[in-house]
Structure 1
Amino acid sequence: MTDQPGTADNGGAAFENMVSLLDYPMFVVTTASEGHRAGCLVGFTSQTSINPPKFLVGLSRKNHTFTVAQEADHLAVHLLPREELAVAKLFGGTSGDSTDKFAQCGWSPGPEGMPILDAAAAWFVGRVSKRFELGDHVGHLLEPVDGNAPEDLGELITFSDVRDIDPGHDA
């Protein structure tokens, strides 16, 4: 009976098949706390409110960025143009446990001391208003406090651009 549409056993497989067809934009999330900088490639994100504006970022508990983010009051969320795939690979394919990613890319200190990537097509810094469990990730609900976005973003890095990156950590 597991092959019948709508059965509980088939739900997980159907969900996996459905979301594998989507081509979400990818983000690089950076943060800083207690003298430590961290950042990672993130695909689990969503705007959650228009007024007041709120944005959700899911960080894996196994990720170095998660560890630093737990002590941080703010996160910076970046969109990268497609020509900056090397930066996405840096933040998605290496671990901050053993690599200083910021020594390998251009960045500058931004609002609230957050590291802002030079490669970003657009970015915002958000205050963490709430954290909550999301399975193997922890949700960080952000309230934007500052940012920069042009009139046109051009072509951005999406999941299909990075699906072959071996992650620096398992999810």
Structure 2
Amino acid sequence: MKGLDAFADRLDPDMYVVTATADGERAGCLVGFASQCSIGPPRFVVWLSKANRTFRVARRADRLAVHVLTREQHALAELFGGHTGDDGVDKFAHVRCTARQDGAVVLDDAPAWFVGRVLLRTDAGDHVGFVLDPVDSGAPGAPAGPLLRLSDALDISPGHPAD
């Protein structure tokens, strides 16, 4: 739809790394479709592509971890956005991370993160929205500069086709 393309081309959303763990399998990906979706109670939604391995793990997970990155963390964004576990890359072997008792995996170098309990999964076409109830959060690295945005990540080649 031409009108929607013109609208979307003007946006420059924050980028997030979403991690999921289920049945002993862990995955993570770079996400540009995400937003707070309720104030009271607080809720956040992340949209994962059905073509993504992280989606296949997340649909079995009861919690997801959502991390913000700074512009200086482009290499971390490239790791999670440009590779897929389907090609044999263990992204977590290349980062400092903590496996939590609740099953979530948190990236230690993220300036801020939260873990959310999955309340709802909603199919919206080529992406599925995971509505999250935040249950824990952290900001281990004090403010570390501007957040990574879509315009900062345009040079990252996706690890899988967009659709």
The count of residues paired between Structure 1 and Structure 2 equals 160
Residue 54 of structure 1 aligns with an amino acid whose one-letter code is R
Partner of 1:117: 107
Q: Give the match's secondary structure for 1:163.
A: coil
Q: Tell which deviates more after alignment, 145-154 or 90-99.
A: 145-154
After TM superposition, the score normalised by the length of structure 2 is 0.93
The SS at the match of 2:66 is: strand
Could you tell me whether the CA contact under 8 Å between 1:45 and 1:56 is conserved in 2?
yes
Report the TM-score, using the length of structure 1 for normalisation. 0.89
* Matched residue, 2:150: 159
Contact 1:28–1:39, Cα closer than 8 Å, also in 2: yes
Q: What is the Cα deviation at residue 33 of structure 1? A: 0.6
Letter in 1 for 2:82: G
Q: What's the Cα RMSD here?
A: 1.3
Q: 1:45 aligns with which of 24, 34, 47?
A: 34
Q: 1:87–1:119: 8 Å Cα contact kept in structure 2? A: no
Tell me if structure 1 keeps the 8 A contact 2:111–2:143.
no
Which residue of structure 2 aligns with residue 83 of structure 1?
72
- What displacement does 1:119 show? 2.0
Structure with higher Rg: it is 1
Separation (CA, whole Å) in 1 of partners of 2:101 and 2:74: 25
Whole-angstrom CA distance in 2 between matches of 1:162 and 1:15: 21
Identity %: 52
Q: Distance in 2 between matches of 1:54 and 1:137?
A: 18
Structure 2 alignment gaps of length 5 or more: none
Relative to structure 1, is the Cα distance of residues 86 and 128 closer, same or farther in structure 2, using a 3 angstrom cutoff?
Answer: same
Distance apart, 1:62 and its partner CA: 0.6
Aligned to 1:8: none
The one-letter amino acid of 2:151's match is S
Q: Distance in 2 between matches of 1:120 and 1:15?
A: 32
Give yes or no for contact 1:23–1:159 (8 Å, CA) kept in 2. yes
Contact 1:29 1:39 in 2 (8 A): yes
Alpha-carbon offset, residue 82 of structure 1: 1.4
Q: Does 1:168 align with 2:137?
A: no
For residue 115 of structure 2, give the secondary structure of its aligned residue in structure 1.
Answer: strand
How far the C-alpha of 1:114 sits from its partner, in A, is 1.0
Q: Secondary structure at the match of 2:76?
A: helix
Work out the CA distance in 1 between the residues paired with 2:77 and 2:50. Answer: 20
- Cα distance in 2 for partners of 1:110, 1:78 equals 15
Q: Which whole-Å deviations, capped at 9, do the CAs of 1:47-91 have from their partners, x for residues lacking one? A: 110110100110000100000001100000000111111000000
2:134 is the alignment partner of 1:144: yes
